[in-house]
Amino acid sequence: MTSITGNIFNIKRYAIHDGPNIRTTVFFKGCSLSCWWCHNPEGKSPEVRFKSNPRQTFESSDEKLVPLGGWTSTVSEIMGEIRKDLPFFQESGGGVTFSGGDPLYQPEFLQALLKACGQENIHRSVDTSAHAPAEIIRSVAGETELWLLDLKHMDNTLHLKHTGLENGLILQNIKLLDALGAEIRIRIPLIPGVNADEQNLTASAKFICDLERKHPIDILPYHDTAASKYRTLGLDYRQVQASGPESLNPEQLIELMGSYGLSAQIGG
């Protein structure tokens, strides 16, 4: 199992916004969606530029040093990097977050890493759109302590327009994980002009309320810091409007969610 390979584009150490406490975040290549506001365009394609890690260490968090083409790595190699942060996990109660791209795009590699982390009692989180077959969701759920699930848009037509895919499978899988008793944090990327209107956010609150359990919500404000990545990769950058008269701000969204008995915070 440790010889199983997968494609990644970064390993971020001392992460504090990818789940609880201090974490190591492993970014997988490949994603089914094509969100207009994607902050990690280097993760969209499953293709890699390097056959092995082009850097000798992961000590620097400077993204300019991250090879945007990504590389192929083994479970053993990644676990070797994860183990370097064990003291921080033990002291803070943190762990590992698998993100992307979308880690469910490479389910065999993801499950091998989850099992390896589980054998060493490392807390495991999966950050995903939840766009995957139900059997993959069920299998991964058995090896995951926390799911970070994006809820991008409740309107199917607008979800298709802004992400390239319909939202039916995503909503079904959120309901499935809720029914399975999985620990979930719902993450709402707040994108003015796309999903930040009161109608959509009210529909989002109602959907979350209809789940069997009330899950906490992380509000992720929009920013355009990824624009330079698009230029480097030669990709078109769809810049969305920074604000709009009909867009709720994060504080207003917290108040809206609170009116439905839901707990929300900015970031997460």
At residue 250, the 3 state secondary structure works out as helix
Q: Confirm if 170 and 129 have CB atoms less than 8 A apart.
A: yes
pLDDT value of position 56: 46
d(CA 33, CA 36): 9
Task: Say what the pLDDT of residue 80 is.
Answer: 95
Q: Judging by beta carbons within 10 Å of its beta carbon (0-12, 13-18, 19+), is residue 69 exposed, middle or buried?
A: middle
pLDDT in tens, 26-36: 999 999 999 99
Confidence of residue 49 (pLDDT cuts 50, 70, 90): confident
Domains and CATH numbers, the chain: 5-266 (3.20.20.70)
Confidence bin at 251 (pLDDT 50/70/90) = very high
Per-residue pLDDT for 180 more than 50? yes
Output the pLDDT for position 222. Answer: 86
| pLDDT at residue 181 in the model | 98
Residue pair 268/189 in contact by the 8 Å Cβ criterion: no
Q: Please report the pLDDT score of residue 212 as a whole number.
A: 96
Residues 149-158: pLDDT tens digits?
A: 999 999 999 9
Query: What's the Cα-to-Cα distance from 3 to each of 14, 28, 112, rounded to whole Å?
Result: 26, 17, 10
Average pLDDT over residues 89-104: 96
- Burial 184-218, CB ≥16 within 10 A → b, else e: bbbbbbbbbbbbbbeebbbebbeebeeeeeebbbb
Whether this model's pTM surpasses 0.85: yes
